[in-house]
Amino acid sequence: MLELPFQKERMELNTRLMIWRELAESCGITTLQQSLQQVWKLLLLCLICRVCFRLGVSPTVKHFVSMLTGMYGLFLFLELHILWVLLLSIICYLSLLLCRHSSNKGLFLSAIILVYLLIGELHLIDMGTWNKIRGSQMVVAMKVISLAFELDRRKVENLPSPAEFLGYVFFVGTVVFGPWISLSSYKNALNGPKLSYLWLYNSLLRLLKSQICLLVSTCIAPYLFPLFLPIYGNSVTQKWLRAYENAVSFHFSNYFVGHLSEGTSMLAGAGFTEEKDNIQWNMRVVNLLSVEMPRSMVLVVISWNIPMSQWLKTYVFKTSMKLGTFPAILVTYTASALLHGLSFHLGAVLLTLGFLTYVEHVLRKKLAYILSACILSRPCASDCSHQHKKGYAAIHTIQRWSELNWASHWIIFACWIFCRLIQ
């Protein structure tokens, strides 16, 4: 009789292991096969583009290679619906030519793009098609608006030629899954460093992370409770467990796209920094830990899509700061909502985040001043004037672990899994 609880626990573990194996065969393998079937041609195009950039051909030829590979990559996913993205690009370039002597190109192009997106979504394009092309439309719109503001600010001296413009807009590493990159980053990719093990390793690592996130989103998160975590809940807590499962699935689908875009960008030659001949392939689109274990809601918003947060801060928030901090925040989140499309759900979520982040920022700023403590929305610099810096040691430790890719923690986790399997 004393062995019954142990036998029951062993039977439950065996049953769970059998279900895990069936889930891996029915969901995991199928999901990975479908994912690789859809992206392998795009990855090959990124590699071709990277190799062509290293051949020493003229910049015009490189622009044409970037444009043609990007268009073909888009065609693989959108088919003839690519014409809508091409139409937006042509309209934007003609608009830039029209206002090339103006000092308000950024605002003018923003208005043109907003009108195009609204008319396209409401009158010209059916919802199914719009949802397919929305991501690429958004990337193109962000690139063109950033270019227009850079021309206004004299950071880009002259309007790019049609070949350079289309090469930048349709750069194969970013045009399908993103992210936004600046014109200077695109030019750096054209004259990027030589092919190396470090480049290939970091590109493949990001692609591997994307597939892991896809598996979590598709095959693990929907069955999280109680199949993977033995928490059963009751009539009161069950809805919260289901809501958490949905949130995890949604989060990891975003991480999948983010890491995939990191991989395609770096594979095509973008996403590196160079300091004193030391090249680092360190493009970051998402930061999983800062979203799942955040310091503040501000860091959640930033870490959800780092390049887009940078774009919104540089070209929307700073431009509208003359209206005041809170109006500028509202304008920024409204711009983000409009770029994503006319969705009440998304708009309501983004505007709610705007209120939350503003209130949290103001509260933390006042408390940091009163308590003289490092409790701002963002981590303080090591030489800040606050007296209480207790959190620095924790941040320093986590940073060191992160630099080593949490290797010891992964080893401990693998040992724990092995221990559970041999019971």
Tens of pLDDT, residues 5-33: 555 556 566 777 787 788 888 888 999 99
The conformation of residue 265, written as its DSSP 8-state character, comes to H
Query: Is 171:186 a contact under the CB 8 Å cutoff?
Result: yes
Q: How far apart are CA 262 and CA 173, in angstroms?
A: 9
The per-residue pLDDT for 5 is 56
- Other C-beta atoms closer than 10 Å to the C-beta of 321 total 14
Sign of the torsion formed by the C-alpha atoms of 31, 33, 35 and 37: negative
What average pLDDT does the segment 209-225 reach?
90
Neighbours of 332 (CB within 10 A): 24
The H-or-E segment that residue 334 falls in is: helix 325-340
Residue 364, number of CB atoms within 10 A of its CB: 18
Between 342 and 98, the higher pLDDT residue: 98
Tokens 């979590």 correspond to what residue?
A: 216
On whether the CB atoms of residues 46 and 268 are closer than 8 A, the answer is: yes
Q: Directed axis angle between helix 238-267 and helix 29-53, to 10°?
A: 30
Residue 388's φ and ψ, nearest 5 degrees, are -100, 110
Give the number of other Cβ atoms within 10 Å of residue 72's Cβ: 16
- Tokens 């591997």 belong to 208
The 10s digit of each residue's pLDDT in 235-254 is: 777 888 888 888 899 999 99
Q: How far is it, in rounded angstroms, from Cα 110 to Cα 180?
A: 16
Return the bridge partners of 281, or none: 272
354 vs 98, residue with greater confidence:
98
Residue 367 token pair: 């408390």
pLDDT higher for 123 or 254?
254
- Residue 388 is classified by DSSP as B
More confident position, 372 or 289 = 289
Q: In 219-280, where does DSSP find H-type helix?
A: 238-267
Give the list of residues 6+ apart from residue 198 with CB closer than 8 angstroms, or none. 279, 281
Of residues 384 and 287, which shows the higher confidence score? 287
Most confident of 8-17, 74-83, 394-403: 74-83
Asked if the model's pLDDT at residue 391 lies above 70, the reply is no
Which pLDDT belongs to residue 177? 94
Record the tokens describing residue 197, joined without a space. Answer: 């093990």
Residue ranges in 120-194 assigned as alpha helix (H): 127-152, 162-169, 183-190
Range of weakest confidence among 90-94, 181-185, 343-347, 363-367: 343-347
Angle at 190 between CA 185 and CA 191, to 5 degrees: 100
- How many other β-carbons are positioned within 10 Å of the β-carbon of residue 137? 23
Can you tell me the mean pLDDT for 163-180? 95
State pLDDT tens for residues 301-313: 899 999 999 999 9
The SS3 call for residue 272 is strand
Give the pLDDT confidence score for residue 100 in this predicted structure.
86
Cβ-contact 295, 73 below 8 angstroms? no
Q: Give the model's pLDDT for residue 2.
A: 46
Q: What is the mean pLDDT of the chain?
A: 86
Dihedral Cα 103, 107, 108, 114, nearest 10 deg: 170
β-pair type (272-275, 278-281) = antiparallel
- Residues making up the chain, counted from first to last: 423
Question: What is the mean pLDDT of the segment spanning 331-352?
Answer: 82
Closest to 58 (Cα-Cα) out of 157, 190, 234, 193? 190
Is the pLDDT reported for residue 369 higher than 60?
yes
Residues contacting 54, CB < 8 A, separation 6+:
192, 194, 195
Cβ proximity of 184 and 194 under 8 Å: no
Q: What is the three-class DSSP state of 273?
A: strand
CA angle 253, 171, 67 (to 5 degrees): 135
Residue pair 281/272 in contact (Cβ under 8 Å)? The answer is: yes
What are 88's two structure tokens? 């937006």
pTM across the whole model: 0.87
In 3-state terms, what secondary structure has residue 391?
helix
Q: Is residue 373 classed as helix, strand or coil in its secondary structure?
A: strand
Residues with catalytic roles: 340
Our CA dihedral for 149, 150, 151, 153, rounded to 10 degrees, sits at 90
Q: Is 346 helix (H, G, I), strand (E, B) or coil?
A: helix
